Chains A and B, each alone.
Chain A
Amino acid sequence: MALLEVRDLRVSFDTPDGTVRAVRGLSFDVEAGQTLAVVGESGSGKSVATQTITGLTRGAKVSGTAYFDGTDLITADQATLRRLRGAQIGMIFQDPLSSLHPQYRIGWQIVEMIRAHDLTIGKQAARKRAAELLTLVGIPRASERIDDYPHQFSGGMRQRVMIAMAMALDPALLIADEPTTALDVTVQAQVLNVMRRLQEQFGTAIILITHDLGVVAEMADEVVVMYAGAVMERAPRRDIFYRNHHPYTQGLLASLPARSGDRLTPIQGTPPSLISLPKGCPFAARCSHVFDKCSEPPPLTDVGGDPRHQSACWLPHDVNEAVAS
């Protein structure tokens, strides 16, 4: 059994303009010690999905199940979620500055986080643990810097502090929502390196939410490609890049600036409104392979007989390299 099993997750929000269907039937597994990358563009539902799993989308209409280690996170009460969040499931977000309280020293914040879950750990022991964690994520002179305020750290260092805090109680799962998007590339490389090292050391499973296919290629074991709230394609990392099936996956890869001076191949048009989605395939309006069948919603089915590789597209699934990208 996988560490986290999400089945048919649906999330919608009522707004004055109508119901926004942010996530529409999302299923995925996260195996212990593995990295699942969820990739998609703005509004694809990738962040909403993981926030819902951790109980952070108040006011949303939610259905489906998300079993984490035997507990359904969707129906779990707040007390259970509080116990799991932080201790079993660590989270880091895009903007480390707004995730840290500006008026408290970072050591204090890590200690509070540790003791909120386990009061048997004394203050001094928790403080010692905080310093160890800061060293672990590569903050120099950790025992001094533990008494600094968040604004005294650079963006990359703040994200390290967030990782230290998320890893404080040795969680089984780390949800990283665009953890390096706000960082410069050289700093991004440092932070990704820290995440990889900690995963090796502690066997933490990671859900990595990103829009950056480069980060996916560097970090992922499995990849889920989302568009308009639904999964378009899922596959092991190499299959997504070298044997992809869905025209949206292909479109994303083709949009990347190539090494040559050749013209880029963008995906024409813009994503559909999540309030008035088309009946059939959500990508049909922008797809160059569109045909009459696309007016019906395509199910997620195996590609080339491999149950680990699935695509939600009506194009033939029997040949792996059916449509070369």
Chain B
Amino acid sequence: MNDVLLKVDDVRKEFPTHSKEVVQAVAGVSLEVHKGETLGLVGETGCGKSSLARCMAHLYDVTSGSVWFEGHEISKLSRKAMRPLRRDVQVIFQDPYGSLNPRRRVGSIIGDPFAIHNIASGNERKKKVQELMELVGLNPEHYNRFPAEFSGGQRQRIGVARALALRPKLVICDEPVSALDVSIQAQIINLLSDLQREFDLTYVFISHDLSVVRHVSDRIAVMYLGKIVELAPTSELFGQTRHPYTRALLSALPVADPDTADSRQQIILGGDIPAATNPPTGCRFHTRCPKARLDCTAEEPALEPVLDDKPDHRAACLYPLTVGEDLSTAVPDLKAS
């Protein structure tokens, strides 16, 4: 693909802790975001998906590696040098309560981007803000209200309006619907997909909810302990799952359908996610993997096409799943032969 909008090259992000250990939040991730697509990023708490997203938007400095936007490296830019690029890369956050200043009126919150980038002021700014409010389904007459006067779903619309003010090319949505009730969640998902079509947006969509990610994404990257374990077009990830962790994640997802719930074989992973300060050797999933073998503890698998997969489907596993393979009966074997 030559229409790469954002490229992440071997990015690592580490955080020091008080006990002089290092949390490896992102442990060497490379991926590309193509123009006009929605790339889903899923994984459980602490897998590094939000840290990766913040590195992508250069809200964090990367520890090593690089991030490229439209062919320019942005990961080493100063705040000032980054500012013009902020117009093109915007973020929508999870918490519609914490991400809006409660003491400022909604009109001025949404108008901020215009002020910061000296684009419009006075009545012109107000007009632009009201157009945006209308666009995201808010009543423009509520321009002078405070965030507290809006419901959770409406607040998330405010966040969307603010992100879209400068017509960005890339919008990073960090758990944008996780705090919302299902009926409201569906409203926001539809809004995001309408806006994508209308303005030709590219999304990186982060969520722990696989059913939401499946619905919105063209491609999905599954993360575990700071690494991507599988990256594939959505239908392939679900139809031809290669990585045992992906399969376990899919299997754990409760389905709102009693027939499926009763008939399927659930794979229930043992144990917890290991600490990111001291990740397991070799494949980081080997401590919980039903298929783990001795070499999984030593050799770190590369993220590459496995079996007969096309180049756009990559998995990091020494013993990838074949289609139809039953993982629920697999037993790990870590003894030396």
Interface residues of A (CB under 8 A from B): 41-42, 154-157, 184-190, 192-193, 211-218, 237-238, 241-242, 251-259, 261, 263-268, 270
Contact = CB atoms under 8 A, between A and B. Distances in A.
Nearest to A210: B254
Interface residues of B, number: 40
Q: Residue among A192, A238, A254, A264 with the most chain B CB within 10 A?
A: A264
A258 B215 CA distance: 7
B223 to A, nearest CB: 12
A110 B291 CA distance: 36
30 contacts: A42-B152, A154-B272, A157-B272, A185-B249, A186-B249, A186-B268, A188-B252, A188-B254, A190-B269, A211-B181, A213-B182, A214-B211, A217-B256, A218-B254, A218-B261, A237-B258, A238-B258, A241-B256, A241-B257, A254-B186, A255-B182, A256-B182, A256-B186, A256-B256, A257-B212, A264-B186, A266-B184, A266-B186, A267-B183, A270-B151
B256 A214 contact: yes
Given A185-B252, A214-B256, A255-B182, A264 B269 contact: no
A214 B215 contact: no
A267 B45 CA distance: 29
Given A218-B261, A264-B186, A41 B181 contact: yes
B150 to A, nearest CB: 10
Interface string B175-218: 00000011111110110010000000000000010111011100
Nearest to A261: B215
A184 B45 contact: yes
B255 interface: yes
Contacts of A252: 182-183
Contacts of B254: 185, 188-189, 192, 212, 214-215, 217-218
Interface majority SS (helix, strand, loop, mixed), chain B: helix
Contacts of B256: 213-214, 216-217, 241, 253, 256
Top 10 closest A-B pairs, CB basis?
A: A214-B254, A266-B186, A257-B215, A267-B183, A184-B44, A41-B181, A189-B252, A213-B256, A255-B186, A264-B186
Nearest to A241: B258
Given A218-B254, A241-B258, A264-B190, A193 B45 contact: no
B240 interface: no
A315 to B, nearest CB: 19
A193 B328 CA distance: 15
Contacts, number: 115
Interface of B: 44-45, 151-154, 181-187, 189-190, 193, 208, 210-212, 214-216, 248-249, 251-258, 260-261, 266, 268-269, 272-273
A157 B261 CA distance: 24
Given A42-B181, A186-B252, A189-B268, 9 more contacts: A41-B181, A185-B253, A213-B182, A218-B261, A257-B215, A257-B216, A259-B214, A264-B215, A266-B186
B135 to A, nearest CB: 17
A75 B31 CA distance: 62
Contacts of B249: 185-186
Contacts of A154: 272-273
B208 A185 contact: yes
A217 B258 contact: yes
Contacts of A261: 215
Contacts of A193: 266, 268
A266 B216 CA distance: 15
Contacts of A255: 182-183, 185-186
Q: Residue among B183, B187, B257, B268 with the most chain A CB within 10 A?
A: B183
A190 B270 CA distance: 8
Contacts of B257: 217, 241
Nearest to A258: B215
B189 A257 contact: yes
A236 to B, nearest CB: 10
Contacts of A253: 256
A193 B182 CA distance: 24
